[in-house]
Structure formats: structure tokens, C-alpha cells
């Protein structure tokens, strides 16, 4: 469902008018889980999000991914200047429960990494779509974005 109340919060996360919220699924603790899926981003089935800013794309992991992982304790990111191939693993996110690879949704060159995550890896949990971003990648070709999912498509993939 689309959240109609901009400026409100759900589970401590701010909501914009373009935020797509999915949930209603009962967790093992008997609580209802909701997932924040902003409508202005693109997504992968492997739980990365993409925000396009001209010829550069910002990549991070989704609210669903960080929620499933638990508290993030370490993030390993590539060097600036590294060229990524589409679907290449380029880093890892380590939590108290697991270590997960992060994949490049398209080919391009890493132009910036989020230096704040070295000392504050918990930003991936507290603000996955904002200060918890991972890398900025200059796109080789904008057509690499064609296979990404919309917010609605990503939400549907969570129910598959």
C-alpha cells in the first residue's frame, strides 16, 4: 500500500509520499513486519537499491535486507577506481548473524565509497536509503538500468 501521510514515521523510519510500504507478515515473535520501499528508487532481486543521479548511481542494501541481517557490524567496500561488471560481487556486509555479498546491478566504475561506514556501520541499519548508502558508481551504459525493478516489482518479489 502507498503510505498517504508524508512526514510520519513507521517503525522509527521516516515516510515520504513516495514511500511504498509492504508488510503484514507475522514474524516468529508474533509481530507484524513492515518493509520500507521508497518509490523513487530502483531495486534488484538480490536486495540492492539504486538511486540515479545523472550518470552516477548510488547503491545500497534495502530495508528488507538489513532487517533480515540484523545489526550490521562491518562493511567491506571496493577501492575507488575499481571497474565493476554487472552482477559482480563487489563488497560484503557483515552482521551479528551473517555475512552477505553485495552485487553490482550494472557495469561501471566506483567513484566514491561511503567512508562513514568504517566507523559507523550501523548506518546501514538505521538509514539504509540515506546515510547508509554503500558506493557511487559511474555507469558504463544507462541501458544497464533497464533490468532493475520498480518499488512495486521489488515488493512483489518479496512475496515470491
Domains of the chain (ranges; CATH) run 9-141+148-158 (2.40.50.100)
User: CB-hemisphere CA count at 13 Å for 75?
Assistant: 28
Note if the pTM is more than 0.75.
yes
Q: How far apart are CA 137 and CA 111, in angstroms?
A: 6
Q: What is the pLDDT of residues 67-110, one digit of tens each?
A: 999 999 999 999 999 999 999 999 999 999 999 999 999 999 99
Residue burial 11-50, b: 16+ Cβ < 10 Å; e: rest? eebebeeebbbbbeeeeeeeeebbbbbbeebbbbebbbbb
Q: What is the pLDDT of residues 42-71, one digit of tens each?
A: 999 999 999 999 999 999 999 999 999 999
Full DSSP string of 129-149: TTTT--EEEEES-GGGGTTPB
The 10 Å Cβ neighbour count of residue 106 is 23
19-28, 29-38, 39-48, range with greatest mean pLDDT: 39-48
Read off the pLDDT band of 38 (50, 70, 90): very high
Read off the pLDDT band of 33 (50, 70, 90): low
Give, in degrees to the nearest 5, the angle at Cα 42 between 37 and 48: 75
Amino acid at each position: 500500500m502507498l503510505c498517504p501521510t508524508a512526514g510520519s514515521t513507521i517503525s522509527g523510519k521516516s515516510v515520504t509520499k513516495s514511500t511504498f510500504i509492504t508488510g503484514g507478515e507475522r514474524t516468529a515473535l508474533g509481530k507484524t513486519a513492515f518493509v520500507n520501499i521508497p518509490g523513487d528508487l530502483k531495486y534488484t532481486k538480490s536486495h540492492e537499491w539504486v538511486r540515479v543521479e545523472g550518470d552516477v548511481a548510488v547503491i545500497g542494501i534495502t530495508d528488507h535486507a538489513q532487517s533480515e541481517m540484523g545489526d550490521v557490524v562491518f562493511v567491506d567496500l571496493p577501492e575507488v577506481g575499481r571497474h565493476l561488471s554487472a552482477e559482480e560481487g563487489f563488497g560484503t556486509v557483515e552482521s551479528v548473524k551473517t555475512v552477505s555479498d553485495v552485487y553490482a546491478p550494472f557495469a561501471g566504475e566506483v567513484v566514491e565509497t561511503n567512508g562513514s561506514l568504517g566507523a559507523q556501520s550501523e548506518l546501514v541499519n538505521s538509514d539504509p536509503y540515506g546515510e547508509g548508502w554503500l558506493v557511487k558508481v559511474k555507469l558504463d551504459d544507462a541501458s544497464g538500468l533497464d533490468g532493475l525493478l520498480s518499488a512495486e516489482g521489488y515488493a512483489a518479489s518479496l512475496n515470491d
